[in-house]
Amino acid sequence: MASSETYSAPEHAKVEEIPAAEHEKAVAAPPPEVKAPADRPPIGYCALAEVVLRFLLFASALVAVVVIVTSKQTIHHVPAKFNHSPAFIYFVAALSVAGLYSIITTLFSFYALLKPGCYPKVLSHFVIFDVVLLGIVSAATGTAGAVGYIGLKGNKHVGWKKICHVYDDFCRHVGASVFVSLFASIVLLFLVLLSVHSLSKKTTK
Amino acid sequence: MASSETYSAPEHAKVEEIPAAEHEKAVAAPPPEVKAPADRPPIGYCALAEVVLRFLLFASALVAVVVIVTSKQTIHHVPAKFNHSPAFIYFVAALSVAGLYSIITTLFSFYALLKPGCYPKVLSHFVIFDVVLLGIVSAATGTAGAVGYIGLKGNKHVGWKKICHVYDDFCRHVGASVFVSLFASIVLLFLVLLSVHSLSKKTTK
């Protein structure tokens, strides 16, 4: 222990023996270093909000998929399953893609939170996929919602009878899943607005 | 005529009698003036693309609404109308809002094309509404598409019979309207990406 302390002491002493020219450089350097912390707080704040929103997106996409996939209900040997309707199959596919995408981007934005230097470039690429996914997830919500609504209320004009008074548990699952995916759409909306806000903030600076 | 020429001549002579200090200022000034035209072409180009996209959005929203509203078909005194389904009512409402919004924003972006100075501020406000409308219009497309698909194919699992082999003209109108609104969603997607592109371009400059 004593020997390691005697080894470290000369190194510490060396660091303080900076030539005068280098010392002047160090004095001249501060302006950009002072500016960087002033710039960082809003970026860090936005990056933190982004990580939280992306995690929320992942959680809601996962919940929506799990809830609709586990909605099978059998009454008098006649089962009701999500894959009986192409609308629900599209819904599961869209939200699975959203879930997988959100895992990747959560990791990326968490990394960007730790190293804020590479942030703007990552941001402007993510926002493109965010916008595309917003379209896909909202369309999926609309699709599943429309089929669920016909199941709940029926349509007397064309003779489509309601099924939710029989398959109550199935319908409850579908309804919950649609609401969770509506939440996912809103999270995606906020993610896009957050990116636009960050970009326009940098533009006005 | 001759008198006005004699009056203007001294003024012209005055302008040339600039003190040396002011003349130096005028020489120092050019850099920002040279920079401004170099900055303008991409903004003008993006503004032109925006006007075209916004006009396309207006045209597609109008066509989608007109096509679905005029879809009434009566067979054996039993009419099929768009307002028999809540999904189609939502569809008409969403695309009417998109149409009205696009009229206003086309005018604004046309104005921004003529006066590029106030462009970035207008842009970052429009993109918020563009993103919200993208969600609404895609959801409407999904909703109407899901109901239209059940009408076309039926669903044997729950006993919803298809109606499009009877109400062929009605279904053709609905199908065309859904495809036009899908086009409107894609136009909105490009509008958002165009705004993000303009904003991130300014950030990297």
| ipTM, 2 dp | 0.74
pLDDT reported for residue A122: 61
Encoded tokens for B62: 């109008």
Q: Which residues of A touch B131 (CB under 8 A)?
A: 131, 134, 189, 192-193, 196
- A145 touches B: beta carbon within 8 Å: yes
CA A127, chain centre distance (Å): 11
CA distances from A205 to A122, B66, B155, B177 (A): 20, 45, 57, 44
Q: Do B143 and A138 touch (CB under 8 A)?
A: no
pLDDT reported for residue B44: 65
**CA A44, A49, A51, A52 torsion-angle sign:** positive
Strand-strand pairing, A73-75 and A78-80:
antiparallel
pLDDT reported for residue A60: 95
Interface test with A, best of B77, B137, B196, B204 (most A CBs within 10 A): B196
* Mean pLDDT, all residues of chain B: 78
Q: Report CA dihedral (B37, B43, B48, B52) to the nearest 10 degrees.
A: 180
**Higher confidence at residue B125 or residue B76?**
B76
- Whether residue A95 is predicted with pLDDT greater than 60 in this model: the reply is yes
Which residue in the block uniquely carries the two structure tokens 């809601």? A60
pLDDT band at residue B168 under the 50/70/90 scheme: confident
Question: How many whole angstroms separate alpha carbon B115 and alpha carbon B110?
Answer: 9
Q: Which residues of A touch B150 (CB under 8 A)?
A: 147, 150, 160
Q: Minimal Cα–Cα distance from B37 to chain A, Å?
A: 18
Q: What is the pLDDT of residues B47-101, one digit of tens each?
A: 788 888 999 999 999 999 999 999 888 888 888 888 888 999 999 999 999 999 9
Q: Which residues of A touch B205 (CB under 8 A)?
A: none
pLDDT band at residue A68 under the 50/70/90 scheme: very high
CA B167, chain centre distance (Å): 34
Q: What is the pLDDT of residues A121-134, one digit of tens each?
A: 666 678 889 999 99
pLDDT reported for residue B35: 43
* pLDDT (mean) for B5-31: 45
For residue B155, give the nearest of A85, A149, A155 by CB distance: A85
pLDDT reported for residue A63: 94
Q: Report CA dihedral (A156, A157, A159, A162) to the nearest 10 degrees.
A: -30
Query: Which chain A residues in 87-116 lie under 8 Å from chain B, judged by CB atoms?
Result: 87
Q: Do B80 and A158 touch (CB under 8 A)?
A: yes
End-to-end CA distance of chain B: 52
Residues 6+ positions from A18 with CB-CB distance below 8 Å:
A26
How many CB atoms neighbour CB B128 within 10 A?
A: 17
For residue B203, give the nearest of A128, A139, A203 by CB distance: A203
End-to-end CA distance of chain A: 53
For residue A139, give the nearest of B84, B138, B196 by CB distance: B138
* pLDDT (mean) for B127-136: 91
Query: Helix, strand, or coil here: B18?
Result: coil
Question: How many whole angstroms separate alpha carbon A193 and alpha carbon B131?
Answer: 8
Determine the residue of chain A that is closest to B123 in CA distance: A200
Q: Minimal Cα–Cα distance from A111 to chain B, Å?
A: 21
* pLDDT (mean) for B112-117: 71
- Residue % of chain B over a pLDDT of 90: 37
pLDDT reported for residue A66: 94
- Whether residue A36 is predicted with pLDDT greater than 50 in this model: the reply is no
